[in-house]
Amino acid sequence: MNTNDPAAFQKHIRIYLGVFVALLAGTLLTVAISYVHFGHAGNIAVALVIATLKAALVAGFFMHLLSEKKSIYTVLGFTAFFFLGLLVLTVWSMQDHPELTASLPPPLPATAGTHHVP
Amino acid sequence: MDIPHTVQPREDTGLFNAKVGIWLFLASEVMLFGALFSSYILLRVGSPNWLYGAAKDLSVPLGTFNTGVLITSSITMVMAWASLKFNDYGRFKLYLGLTILCGLAFLLIKAFEYYGKFQHGHWPGSHTFYAIYFTLTGLHALHVLGGMAVNTYLWGPGARLWATDPERFTNRIEVAGLFWHFVDLVWIFLFPVLYLL
């Protein structure tokens, strides 16, 4: 970034503020949508998609991954591979014990008034 | 002895050393939390009496508010770094100070939540859900605490470096910021997984 240009500074601040507002909106959307029933898997998928988009905003703009050097992308590529491997292997291993996954109870209906406040 | 490449980028990586170091550290952190998320999936799918919705006894409004606090701390952190980039030391002190305060607020709210759980007899040994809940949120809280310790040092005595080597100090803030944003990023996943799903 051009560190001597006040206009460039203002531009960066506007971008950061835009990301901040999007993150707050995403959080409220995640909460609101959790009260809509898309089915057990549907609710999980929707929440994780929103969380992934929010994480992408943080990584892309606050952590400047959108304009990072290739060496960092290489490190993160390996990390993503092993991270996904870890998750996939866990889920895959469950196939060896189908009786453990057969007892999933249906989720209780979540309503705004029923969450306990300590 | 001078440490090489604290400011000038290395020819092979194109980056100053601390930045490569923090990204490698964050990669290891991804695997640490990844292992715990895997454990969460395994425990949740395998548990015959997993807790859902209101049965978890977690406060969604408090969790939502705390998420907002952590997101706010992320923008103040990046603003602190941007302020140094534009040679505004006064704003840097303000924004980093706000970041530390947001971290403190997050931990206090989390402690209040923990207290509520303990009052209702929910301990890590009470239920499989609480075992993974306290493990994940406790480890995350330790990361917040660690980030606050580094930020407080850089806000206080560590800030003296600005007078002698401003570029190096700016790089330190960038590295501390990368860790702080990662902590925020982890919470972005923890909140829906633990509170909402």
Average pLDDT on B17-29 reads 94
Question: From the CA of B1, how many Å to the nearest CA of chain A?
Answer: 27
Return the amino acid letter for A51: A
**Interval B49-71: pLDDT, tens:** 888 877 788 999 999 999 999 99
Closest CA–CA distance from residue B176 to any residue of chain A (Å):
11
| Option in A69, A90, A117 nearest B13 (CB) | A69
- A87·B41 Cβ contact <8 A: yes
Given a cut of 50, whether residue A114 has pLDDT beyond it is no
- pLDDT band at A100; cut points 50, 70, 90: low
Give the integer Cα–Cα distance in Å for A43 and A38: 5
Question: How does residue B12 score in pLDDT terms, banded at 50, 70 and 90?
Answer: confident
For residue B14 the two structure tokens come to 């194109």
pLDDT band at A115 (very low <50, low <70, confident <90, very high): very low
What does the pLDDT average to over B107-119?
96
Judge whether A9 is closer than 8 Å to chain B, CB to CB: yes
- Please give the pLDDT value at position A1: 58
Task: Spell out which residues of chain B touch residue A2, defining contact as CB-CB under 8 Å.
Answer: none
Q: What percentage of chain A carries pLDDT values higher than 70?
A: 78
* CA atoms within a 13 Å half-sphere pointing along the CA-CB vector of A103: 10
**What SS3 string covers A74-90?**
HHHHHHHHHHHHHHHHH
- Tens of pLDDT, residues A1-52: 556 677 777 888 899 999 999 999 999 999 999 999 888 889 899 999 999 9
Does A51 contact B at CB distance below 8 Å? yes
Cross-chain residue pair B52–A51, CB shorter than 8 Å: no
pLDDT the model gives residue B14: 80
Residue A99 has pLDDT above 80, yes or no: no
B149-170: average pLDDT:
96
Chain A CB within 8 Å of residue B11 CB = no
**Coarse DSSP helix, strand, coil percentages of chain B, rounded to the nearest 5 percent:** 80, 0, 20
Confidence of residue A117 (pLDDT cuts 50, 70, 90): very low
How many angstroms separate the CA atoms of B187 and B40, rounded? 15
- Looking at residue A48, its pLDDT comes to 93
DSSP 8-state class, residue B30: H
Q: Give the model's pLDDT for residue A24.
A: 97
